[in-house]
Structure 1
Amino acid sequence: MSSEPARLETAPFDRGHTDDLMSFLAASPSPYHAVANAAARLEKAGFRQVEEADAWDGTSGGKYVLRGGAIIAWYVPEGAEPHTPFRIIGAHTDSPNLRVKPQPDMGAHGWRQVAVEIYGGPLLNSWLDRDLGLAGRLSLRDGTSRLVSIDRPLLRVPQLAIHMDRSIHEKGLQLDKQRHMQPIWGLGDSVDEGDLIAFLEQETGLAAGEVTGWDLMTHSVEPPAHLGRDRELVAGPRMDNLLSVHAGTAALAAASARGGLSYIPVLAAFDHEENGSQADTGADGPLLGSVLERSVFARGGTYEDRARAFAATVCLSSDTGHAVHPNYAERHDPTHHPRANGGPILKVNVNQRYATDGSGRAVFAAACERAGVPWQTFVSNNAMPCGTTIGPITAARHGIRTVDIGVAILSMHSARELCGADDPYLLANALVAFLEE
């Protein structure tokens, strides 16, 4: 009897998935837009939103909860037991950028500016001399909120002319996060308090004074695009990590539609990964554990059922990783060189910056084999510090076996990143196989 995993009858995704990713990136300039777009796609697939403050039932079908910039969605198959394990795709919705401060109006020398704070670890130079829009969430006086997206050239962080900084040739570009990164958005000799928010109220059709709070951020208005001689690459914003959010949403919808599931498939897309995940919407918060436990208890389960379900649960933490850079190949491990369009990567770090171990590798390898998808391995150069993901946090907080994977890209944390055009759909096909395995 063969021990090889059964192949998927059909791979559900092809290059059309990558084109759809480009649309998703363009429509999701903030975590709040990303979860709203993911929820809309799940609604079309038959999922329904449940409120955290309401009582939950144990009926089968697709469900999801929204909290700020995070979404947890799951599908309960017919006949699922209280102790049925979960198969989780983990991702995050936030990306490094420039975020608007509580007192945003500033300026000097005839220029009007917007005061911003650096979010996460962006490549600051990538935000210079780039046409920027403004997007996020407005909190209103009546307690509701409104999404806003000004998707046209509105702001710009102007770089100092070379004539005024000849030392750049010897010292390189040196940017002060406070002094050099404040964008301009107009002309004027006086700074009017409330000017930016009044502008946003007008743009969104709100009454003056209706906005009492905001979570706003800049984004490049240049749309995603195919690149390369044969259009084999994709350039675009926020691939870290909306590429995985998009793939996970598509995989969850596809797996639930195909049926015959032995596990409860879950998408867990968190906010605030780029600054440590310590938030009520972050992976280090209680959201995922609360949702999984309530799902068990809603189906009549006990704490014993919860323990059994968690013990057999597996999470694939999907986040972008580093493709080998042709101009800096020495920065990579000499025996691990992930390439664009080489398939998803398995991310390994024995110091637990990634959560993958040998048993996790076997789970991922089986999913890729079943999907007919090639895969690669990423390990950091021993002399270079290794990044991290929600993977170790998920494993440690919930006691869930977790595997770190993703897609290899260039220009990570830039305002505009680069990946192979095949890798997004190869990842999505592997995720479907994982959920159905």
Structure 2
Amino acid sequence: MKILHLNTFESSGGAAIAARRLHTALNQDGRVTSIMGVKERDSDAQNVYALPLYRSKIMNKVLGKTLAKFNDKLLAWHRPSKNIFFSAYIFPNSLATAIENLHPDIIHLHWIAGNFISPTVLQKISKLSIPTVWTLHDTWAFTGGCHYFGDCHKWQTQCNACPNLGHHFPLDIVKMQWGMKKKSYKKLQPTIIGLSHQFTHDIKKSSLLHEYPIATLPNTIDTKIFRPIKKSITKAILGLSPHKKYILFGACAAANDPRKGYDLLSQALQILSAQNHDSVSCLVFGASHANTPPAHQLPVTFLGELHDEITLALAYSAADVFVCPSREESFSNTTLESLACGTPVVGFAVGGIPDMIEHKVNGMLATPHDPQELAAGIAYVLEDQERREAMGRAARRTVEEKYAYPVVAKQYIELYQQLLNRK
């Protein structure tokens, strides 16, 4: 059985990381062959292919760049709101031919925006008559272009006149893309994967996807890389004080993306600093600085971008607690990584976080988006070493039982086999 994963990027962004981990887990299982098709490669990894979008190198270079620029200008004309992630891609390409040449038994879509796979291309893929699975890493598949819908609920009926866009006329690109998706999905007949129970619940309310098979399967993680390491060792390697307790926070664009909730964390730290937690410091990865001065008195060390998983594992293991203050999440890879390293997590009960955190067992859940509860959860973990260590052991056990490579690979292989048996 050959599985072809399609993701715009090879390793940039949470969806790419999740897709690559699943691809690796499937190959380690040995019962299937997994390959990845991406828009552009950025490593020499085996079984990863940069798929040509057009039939010749010249067309790839000229037509691909021309259409991408035109598409970007079209989006700019619609004036998306700042801090809103919105994308649209309406043009055809020859990707279906490249897919056919790889002879997969299953096509597994992941994050396909960024001028990679448009609804028009999905219609062409449907003509290959290959069973298609689609893991949704955000909401783009069932909106007119928003990757996170916030407080808007138009996606439950029909997206049009998007409140996140400044222009809609003479062309309402949101309504047009929504209609193109609806048409392509009817031909593709995908099996949809939600990464968490909360996200699956949202998908089932979607007017675009509710009629297709929907399952809930999580992301997976390499428990050999992300594992508990003695704090004395990790603190020494990272140059941290052996006597302090460390709160860790991190994400892509950690201090700049409002969805990641750094401002809410800062409010929680202000509450903690008022309670005289003198021996506590904060570590932040994914950012080199904050855009605004902190309101709290706790020392903060910005670790910048951590580009390899071993360094990430060191940071998680050095910390006494990881905080995930996200306003929205489909899953939360950072929560999973921290738990795998035996570090309890305090987070808001959004997306996949409640699936992973068992309250007062391996972490703490706080009401979205309450800094007071977040601060109380952090304090609960920090104030008792014996309790904290027990939570850390429970965190590791959770990952080994539910999210390790063999566990999740088995679930996906069973799903793939079911789809092939129906064919």
Q: Does the alignment reach a TM-score above 0.5?
A: no
Query: Comparing both structures, which one devotes a greater share of its residues to strand?
Result: 1
- Higher relative contact order structure (alpha carbons within 8 Å, sequence separation ≥ 6): 1
Query: Comparing both structures, which one devotes a greater share of its residues to helix?
Result: 2
TM-score computed with the length of structure 1 as normaliser: 0.25
